Amino acid sequence: MTEQDISRYQDLLVTTATDVGLKILAAIVFWVVGRWLIGVAVGLVRASLERQKVDPTVLRYLGSVITVTLNVLLVIGILGYFGIQTTTFAALIAAAGVAIGMAWSGLLSNFAAGAFMIVLRPMKVGDFVTVAGVTGTVTELGLFTTTINTPDNVLTIVGNNKVFSDNIQNFTVNPFRRVDLKCQLAGTADHQAAMALLREKVALIPNVLPEPKVDVEILEFNLVGPVLAVRPYCHNDNYWQVYFDTNRVIREALAEAGFPAPMPAQNVIVTQIS
């Protein structure tokens, strides 16, 4: 190989490396600028929808869809800049989509369930719900999962398919809810007086609603005596305060009024065999 050939190959190598390096640098610039523009575009769309007072759940869902779509277009554009045929790339995406769809059927079912929840709206961000065995406040409804913050401050993420295929209890929709408690009475206690006393005292608890009135009725009987159902009504935000205050009032009101403490009793009959 002559020096002229070596020089020619070196020039070709330098030229090729320079072209590739410039394209890689340009691709990085395109990616950074493109990501920034996508963030700006999504922010503008969200701001516009917020001004129109669109539901926060819809805002997050649309934001996720727009972000994913624009990112895919950005990647296709960068590949096209490198000279890769985007039609071929689209065919590869379609083929990969079929394969991924078969492998990730559960993930796609979560996506479909999320879309149905956005349309049917059985709950929204900020609602206090019980879904898929989880109770708490909805903090996010995403493309694939629903995020719930439980009362003991545990962030729980549940797949949308599991949420949508199970029962959904929404405690926020109705203006009030009922607190269900029990009160055990002794068999010798005057149940009528106890019921009247509890109706009066429980109704005075802060945040107990005057209507519907407090329910105090005999629920069942056991070996100790009658069991009362004590049921005040309150707003969902005050549920636990009313729950614990009602338990305290049951204990204190009956004790102060002199009602006998319920004690389990058994009759033992001893028979002596002579």
Where among 135, 170, 205 does a domain terminate? 170
| Separation of alpha carbons 78 and 84, rounded Å | 9
Are residues 198 and 238 both part of a single domain?
A: yes
For residue 244, the enclosing domain spans: 177-256
Backbone angles phi, psi at 123, to 5 degrees: -160, 165
Residue 261 inside a domain? The answer is: no
Question: How many structural domains does the chain have?
Answer: 3
Where among 170, 194, 227 does a domain terminate? 170
CATH number at residue 72: 1.10.287.1260
Residue 191 inside a domain? The answer is: yes
Closest Cα partner for 250 from 200, 208, 207, 210? 200
Residue 271 inside a domain? The answer is: no
Mean pLDDT by 10 residues, the chain (274 residues): 62 69 77 83 77 67 75 76 62 60 63 77 90 92 88 92 89 92 93 95 95 94 93 93 96 93 76 72
Are residues 153 and 184 both part of a single domain?
A: no
Can you give the pTM of this predicted structure? 0.58
Q: Where are the alpha helices (DSSP H) in 104-238?
A: 105-120, 160-165, 191-203
Where among 70, 103, 136 does a domain terminate? 103
Residue 116 inside a domain? The answer is: no
Are residues 250 and 217 both part of a single domain?
A: yes
Are residues 197 and 241 both part of a single domain?
A: yes
Tens digits of per-residue pLDDT, 209-218? 999 999 999 9
Are residues 166 and 187 both part of a single domain?
A: no
Q: Is residue 144 a contact partner of residue 138, using CB atoms and an 8 Å limit?
A: no
CATH number at residue 157: 2.30.30.60
Distance of CA 26 to the CA centre of its chain: 42
Are residues 185 and 156 both part of a single domain?
A: no
Q: Is residue 246 a contact partner of residue 179, using CB atoms and an 8 Å limit?
A: yes
Are residues 82 and 153 both part of a single domain?
A: no
Residue 249 inside a domain? The answer is: yes
Tens digits of per-residue pLDDT, 117-172? 877 888 988 999 999 999 999 998 887 889 999 999 999 999 988 888 889 999 99
CATH number at residue 225: 3.30.70.100
Are residues 22 and 58 both part of a single domain?
A: yes
| Separation of alpha carbons 136 and 143, rounded Å | 19
Are residues 222 and 157 both part of a single domain?
A: no
Peptide bond into 56 cis (omega under 30): no
pLDDT at 252: 94
pLDDT at 221: 93
pLDDT at 3: 62
| Separation of alpha carbons 149 and 155, rounded Å | 5
Q: Is residue 201 a contact partner of residue 248, using CB atoms and an 8 Å limit?
A: no
Backbone angles phi, psi at 209, to 5 degrees: -75, 140
pLDDT at 30: 80
Residue 142 inside a domain? The answer is: yes
Q: Is residue 236 a contact partner of residue 176, using CB atoms and an 8 Å limit?
A: yes
Residue 219 inside a domain? The answer is: yes
pLDDT above 70 covers a percentage of the chain that reads: 78
pLDDT above 90 covers a percentage of the chain that reads: 39
Q: Is residue 77 a contact partner of residue 33, using CB atoms and an 8 Å limit?
A: no
Are residues 14 and 99 both part of a single domain?
A: yes
Are residues 150 and 132 both part of a single domain?
A: yes
pLDDT at 261: 87
Residue 241 inside a domain? The answer is: yes
